[in-house]
Amino acid sequence: MKVDLTQSGGIGILTLDGKLTSEHQDELKTLLMKALHNFDHIVLNLGRVASIDLTCNDLLCSAYKKSIELDKSMRLVGISSAEVNCSPAQFNFPVIGMKNGL
């Protein structure tokens, strides 16, 4: 997994590349928390993600739920909402654009 955290205006853009697997969960959690701490608006660019395992899916959902608690916005780009499933359904990510499958 490769990760890049950049800023555009007041928006934090976290671009992920490769496979999001449990071996990367600690790094991913640290980066998500850093983004939530430093930005009010966060975009997760998953356009180059090859696959997402259950552990990282849950981590992405937890980060999204935390963004709601903190009154911050977190959006996905480069992936369909069906590819990151949060429960309950009201916690499903808003998606900007889509791609055809992982």
One-letter amino acid for residue 89 of the chain: A
Burial bucket for residue 20 (CB in 10 Å: 0-12, 13-18, 19+): buried
Q: Fill in the DSSP letter of residue 88.
A: S
Tens of pLDDT along the chain (102 residues)? 898 889 988 899 999 999 999 999 999 999 999 999 999 999 999 989 988 999 998 999 899 989 999 999 999 888 765 667 776 655 566 666 544 433
Say which CATH topology domain 2-96 has.
Transcription Regulator spoIIAA (3.30.750)
First to last CA, the chain: 14
Domain ranges in the chain are: 2-96
